[in-house]
């Protein structure tokens, strides 16, 4: 947006990563949906059914947890990479529901043979651990954490294992045994781990979708096709770079896109960071720019800030440029997409946190610990609101002057050019022109 225009170079190149730059729910689904029009292959690289992307197509709303949102564009190949953990029951359920609603996913969805599978016993462990925990993480209870733990503990079951029913059943039986012991330790009923038969319920459908995702992507790029790598959750929830321990169990940041899709980092041309025009957080953990109660309720209603997976109300706050600048650095952003600008249309004044102060010290780097982040004082700057609708704007120049000034300030503070602005949930409500 520098020099009064949008810098859309970040949206070009053969291989683009779209990554969330706050605590998730930034509107990545919408941004991926817009960019998917120009891509041939869309792949997810981490996370599981805890991510919920909401995409509006005409008047129809689709909530996708596992299948990449690119599926709503006819003819696109949609892949789940090795870095993803997949709940097969939900995955095939989503495919079947899409088919029922007239979106034909057959032959268009591929699942990495190296991806790990989430079974009912992982969900039982997730619930039991959260029930027993003194300090709750606020997980979505989908078994994602225990499935990633099994992966790094070398106890996991991969998609490829299920292609051989006997071997698959053996590995699942060992997983269930382990889960029963752990449930016992947590004081929970070990029968909640379920049976091998239950865990194998949809294993017979795996050959429909199993593929070598890294190989497919490499071939697509070699053939000059465009590939979009779609992240789930956000930078501040990354297991290494987020507000540990209130984080998700995978690396959400752009570096993980290469690992989780099965390609080398040099294959990636651009990284688009998605930021909401304000901040939200679902689940527990610090949120330095949290609104006061009245404002929290107002913006939650205006922005419809309720979790797509759990329906939980999201906590809301002012735009936090300290998080934005940190995300720009750890993701190597080449451009940002600002979403939900329209939600701020009625506010008389808008604040931006330009940085943090901690124990009297200014300009501290983004803290490594949740307790420090809890203790920081945001340093605010107040900008005048625009108090006019932005939902019909299709060019940057259509936006009120104060809205452009707000975007410009975000861009300056994050240190990355704006490539796209979203002004409504619909596919058409997007600005990619100066």
Catalytic residue among 25, 33, 87, 320: 25
Q: Which of residues 321-340 bind ligand GDP (CB under 6 A)?
A: 339-340
Tell me the closest approach of the beta carbon of residue 394 to ligand GDP, in angstroms.
13
> Is-catalytic flag, 25?
yes
Rounded Cα distance, 369 and 373, in Å = 6
Of 30, 40, 73, 142, the one binding ligand GDP (CB under 6 A) is: 30
> Is-catalytic flag, 53?
yes
Residue 28 or 73 having the CB closest to ligand GDP: 28
Tell me the closest approach of the beta carbon of residue 219 to ligand GDP, in angstroms.
28
Residue whose C-alpha is closest to residue 319's, from 293, 280, 270, 365 = 280
User: Quick check: 8 binds ligand GDP (CB under 6 A)?
Assistant: no
* Tokens 């996370």, residue located: 47
Of 11, 17, 18, 20, the one binding ligand GDP (CB under 6 A) is: 20
Tell me the closest approach of the beta carbon of residue 181 to ligand GDP, in angstroms.
35
User: Quick check: 40 binds ligand GDP (CB under 6 A)?
Assistant: no
Kind of pairing, strands 53-57 and 315-317?
unpaired
Residue 44 or 77 having the CB closest to ligand GDP: 44
Site track 153-192 with ligand GDP (rule: CB under 6 A), x = hit: ----------------------------------------
Residue whose C-alpha is closest to residue 50's, from 150, 108, 122, 132 = 122
**What is the chain's Cα-based Rg?**
21
CA distances from 344 to 40, 95, 278, 418 (A): 34, 35, 8, 18
Name the β-bridge partners of 61: 56
**DSSP category for residue 223:** T
Question: How many of the other CB atoms lie within 10 Å of CB of 283?
Answer: 21
User: Quick check: 54 binds ligand GDP (CB under 6 A)?
Assistant: yes
Of 21, 254, 343, 344, the one binding ligand GDP (CB under 6 A) is: 343
Residue 244 or 306 having the CB closest to ligand GDP: 306
Kind of pairing, strands 15-20 and 227-230?
parallel
Apex CA 167: angle with CA 164 and CA 171, to 5°? 130
Site track 216-255 with ligand GDP (rule: CB under 6 A), x = hit: ----------------------------------------
Rounded Cα distance, 87 and 92, in Å = 9
Rounded Cα distance, 135 and 140, in Å = 15
Tell me the closest approach of the beta carbon of residue 430 to ligand GDP, in angstroms.
8
Residue 66 or 354 having the CB closest to ligand GDP: 66
Q: Give the dihedral of Cα atoms 7, 228, 268, 3; nearest 10 deg.
A: 0
Catalytic residue among 33, 40, 53, 241: 53
Residue 227 or 337 having the CB closest to ligand GDP: 337
Tell me the closest approach of the beta carbon of residue 56 to ligand GDP, in angstroms.
5
Rounded Cα distance, 416 and 314, in Å = 26
Kind of pairing, strands 335-339 and 418-422?
parallel
* Residue 166: burial class (beta carbons within 10 Å; 0-12, 13-18, 19+): exposed
Residue 270 or 280 having the CB closest to ligand GDP: 280
Residue 357 or 426 having the CB closest to ligand GDP: 426
- Residue 312 and residue 136 in contact, taking contact as beta carbons nearer than 8 Å: no
Q: Which of residues 390-429 bind ligand GDP (CB under 6 A)?
A: 422-425
Q: Catalytic residue positions?
A: 25, 53
Residues at the contact surface with ligand GDP, assessed by CB under 6 A: 20, 25-30, 51-54, 56, 304, 308, 339-340, 342-343, 422-425
């Amino acid at each position: 947006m520098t020099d009064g225009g949008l810098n859309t170079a970040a949206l070009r190149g053969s291989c683009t990563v779209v990554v969330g730059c706050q605590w998730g729910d930034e509107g990545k689904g919408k941004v991926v949906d817009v960019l998917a029009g120009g891509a041939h292959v869309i792949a997810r690289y981490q996370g599981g059914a805890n991510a919920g992307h909401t995409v509006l197509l005409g008047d129809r709303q689709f909530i996708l947890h596992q299948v990449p949102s690119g599926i709503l564009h006819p003819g696109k190949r949609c892949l789940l990479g090795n870095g993803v953990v997949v709940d097969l029951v939900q995955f095939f359920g989503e495919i079947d529901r899409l088919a029922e609603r007239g979106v034909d996913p057959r032959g268009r969805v591929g699942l990495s043979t190296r991806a790990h599978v989430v079974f009912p016993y992982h969900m039982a462990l997730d619930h039991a651990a959260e029930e027993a925990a003194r300090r709750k993480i606020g997980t979505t209870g989908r078994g994602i954490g225990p499935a990633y733990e099994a992966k790094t503990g070398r106890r996991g079951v991969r998609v490829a294992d299920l292609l051989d029913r006997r071997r698959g059943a053996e590995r699942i039986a060992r997983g269930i045994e382990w889960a029963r012991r752990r449930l016992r330790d947590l004081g929970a009923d070990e029968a909640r781990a379920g049976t091998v038969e239950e865990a194998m319920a949809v294993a017979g459908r795996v050959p429909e979708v199993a593929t070598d995702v890294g190989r497919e992507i490499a071939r697509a790029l070699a053939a000059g096709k465009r590939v979009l790598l779609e992240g789930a959750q956000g930078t501040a929830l990354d297991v290494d770079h987020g507000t540990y321990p209130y984080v998700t169990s995978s690396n959400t940041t752009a570096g993980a896109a290469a690992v989780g899709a099965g390609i080398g980092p040099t294959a990636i041309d651009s990284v688009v960071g998605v930021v909401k025009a304000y901040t939200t957080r679902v689940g527990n953990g610090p949120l330095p720019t949290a609104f006061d109660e009245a404002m929290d309720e107002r913006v939650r209603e205006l922005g419809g800030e309720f979790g797509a997976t759990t329906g939980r109300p999201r906590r809301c706050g002012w735009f936090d440029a300290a998080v934005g600048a940190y995300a720009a650095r750890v993701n190597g952003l080449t451009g940002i997409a600002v979403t939900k600008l329209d939600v701020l249309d009625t506010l008389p004044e808008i604040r931006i946190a330009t940085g943090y102060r901690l124990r009297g010290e200014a300009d501290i780097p983004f803290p490594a610990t949740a307790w420090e982040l809890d203790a920081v004082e945001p340093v605010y700057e107040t900008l005048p609101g625009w108090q006019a609708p932005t939902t019909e704007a299709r060019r940057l120049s259509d936006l009120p002057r104060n809205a452009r000034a707000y975007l410009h300030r975000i861009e300056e503070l994050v240190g990355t050019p704006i490539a796209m602005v979203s002004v409504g949930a619909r596919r058409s409500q997007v600005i990619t022109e100066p």
